[in-house]
Structure 1
């Protein structure tokens, strides 16, 4: 599933959910129609994983089933879509869990650790990057990811990253809409390059992002459904 297809799928689905039901249709029917239309327009019947109906039903059930902060996540390389619920906070860190208990830990909207995804980020240093991104300011900073190698030894991945500011765009989600600035983080480890993007609203909250987690996992697309 290409990045553009992921973005179109989520945007079409969530915009219609935010706008309310069409006459005679439930929210689930609106969601299912929106996702199906995107699949058809791309020449696909599904995203290679969950079907349009399954994605729509998952979003609908998730929004009805909890009042906790909720996000939709897509592990692009695996065509894997899931809901993330914030189940715990520890100071500025939030633990977001999928139904199968795989977790992503985020601070200021940036992924700081993962569990259960494979080649997990055990810990990280992202504070310098987060300061630039949430302030919607340009600059250069460092980030560090820590992984376990095949012998359970901690291995550091250090990257020099350049943060640049883009234009303003509307982000429409299931429970809110926001004017956001697109911030781009371009990183170089010396052996690898990767790019992260963040949509940051006027309050400095990251409401949508596409973040690289590890060589095995690749990029994770995350959009807030309820803040």
Structure 2
């Protein structure tokens, strides 16, 4: 399928971070603290800003709901392209997110986008109930080139959790992935249902873009 998404120019210099722990003041992972519980992982979406959650719930596989945390912005995404096991979804203002098995592997239209990622080991660890993984994530450099960040990740199950979405109770297993690289550390949270599908997640994009709260309907 012809790619429908134009890659926007990325402005400004890449934010260089010293390696630090999850709670470090400059660490992207610090933004996750206190924000992720199954019931209130995201604030309520404005009623007039999105396709209603009830309509999303009634049309499984048609929509993804996105909360761009640092911007306080919401978007309803629809599928734009499919390439193997990677699916690109696009929403208002041409913000797009590409997923591989529910894990974010690229974004466009955000500050300092994630240009690409290799997450197969992370997904395998989730499917196995936990484990270790190596990730590669690609970012723009100051010279508009691509810099690869290699991260060592640990994935642990935090047990079962039930959250309510569009008045429907969803039972899921919550996983926490903590990744550490040379320049930064972050944590992702995934809620995986009984069918092995990531139905809700909180995933780091980049130090500038922060976190995305993602609901897959």
- 1:114-159 residue CA offsets vs partner (Å, 9 max, x unmatched): 11112111111110001112x1511111111111212221101111
Q: Quote the offset at 1:5 in angstroms.
A: 9.6
Q: 1:90 to 1:143 in 2, by over 3 A?
A: same
More helix by share: 1
1:123 paired with 2:155, answer: no
1:163 paired with 2:127, answer: no
Q: Structure 2 length normalisation: TM-score? A: 0.74
User: Superposition pairs for residues 144-223 of structure 1, below 5 Å?
Assistant: 144-174=136-166, 177-223=169-215
- Bigger Rg, which one: 1
Q: Secondary structure at the match of 2:94?
A: coil
1:54 paired with 2:86, answer: no
Can you give the 5+ residue segments of structure 1 that lack an aligned partner in the other structure?
14-34, 36-51
Q: 1:194 to 1:150 in 2, by over 3 A?
A: same
1-side partners of 2:64 and 2:138: how far apart?
A: 25
Which of 95, 112, 131 aligns to 2:105? It is: 112
User: Superposition pairs for residues 15-164 of structure 1, below 5 Å?
Assistant: 52-55=46-49, 58-60=50-52, 63=55, 67=59, 69-133=62-126, 135-164=127-156
The total of aligned residue pairs comes to 183
**Per chain length, whose mean CA-contact separation is higher, i.e. which structure has more relative contact order (CA < 8 Å, sep 6+)?**
2
Q: Structure 1 length normalisation: TM-score? A: 0.71
Q: 1:175 to 1:92 in 2, by over 3 A?
A: farther
